[in-house]
Amino acid sequence: MLSLTQFAKAQCVPDPAIKTSGTFPAVLADAKVGEPYEQVIQYFIVKDTTVFVQQLGQTVNAKIDTLWITGVVGMPDGFTYSCHNKDCKITGGTGGCAKLSGTPKSGQAGIYPLIVLIQIRATAFLGPLPIGQTVNDSNSRYAIIVNSAAGTNELVNTENLIVYPNPAKENVQFYLPEYRGEASVFIYNMSGQLVQTKNLELNRTVENIDLQELPAGLYQLNLATSKGSFTKKFIKE
């Protein structure tokens, strides 16, 4: 447990300019093995919104009373998080922040999809009758990419499709934040020849593609989903 002095040092500061519900930034900074890492995530929730009331089976107008972050799942071993206050709590119409920190160790290079666990307490209104409700929610848009200490194996691109490592050797990993469902992977060489394909179900996990049968060179990974196609290039050593 943090002491008051430790907690004060660990605190982040909410950004008062953020007035839109959501989390910011869109993508987390990379980490590197052996180097201290810190990343602040800002979050905000509006006061007036609509919620689905289970007892009624319908969506009604509501006022957000409180939002808490109750946990962050998937961080590399040794990483921790702290917030602007001890409860990671904000009230409707206000913002907060959480700071992720740690020093990646040897052997921890890779992609770490995160799930931020949230509870929201709201008061819904059906006519003059207020109905209090607390719901569990989560945010799975983020991943921490830990690069090797040597500076190789860099992230191909942090927008949408994440491909890692680059350069790759025996396999390449990819991760598409927030997409769940069927997908097809196509790998092309730079002559435009299809050299590998795979059909799979994406479900909040990092997927691996075996590259051992491919010669060294530059390749393009195409990921086809119901939400569109995503393309990234990578090097096979």
- The reported pLDDT for the residue numbered 45 is 95
3-state secondary structure at position 6: helix
- The reported pLDDT for the residue numbered 188 is 95
Q: What is the pLDDT of residues 147-171, one digit of tens each?
A: 887 655 555 544 578 888 888 989 9
What are the E-state strand segments in the chain? 22-24, 31-32, 37-45, 48-53, 58-73, 80-83, 89-91, 94-102, 110-113, 115-126, 129-139, 143-147, 162-164, 171-175, 180-189, 194-203, 207-210, 217-225, 228-236
Q: Let me know if the fold of 4-144 is the same as that of 152-236.
A: yes
Kindly tell me if the per-residue pLDDT of 124 is higher than 60: yes
Q: What is the pLDDT of residues 129-148, one digit of tens each?
A: 777 888 888 888 888 988 88
Kindly tell me if the per-residue pLDDT of 6 is higher than 60: no
How would you classify the pairing of strands 22-24 and 143-147?
unpaired
Question: Which one is predicted more confidently, 204 or 103?
Answer: 103
Kindly tell me if the per-residue pLDDT of 4 is higher than 50: no
Domain residues of the chain, as ranges?
4-144, 152-236
- The reported pLDDT for the residue numbered 11 is 82
> Looking at domain 152-236, which CATH architecture does it have?
Sandwich (2.60)
**The pTM is what?**
0.75
Q: What percent of the chain has pLDDT over 90?
A: 50
The whole-chain average pLDDT of the chain stands at: 86
Distance CA 91, CA 7 (A): 21
CATH class of 4-144: mainly beta
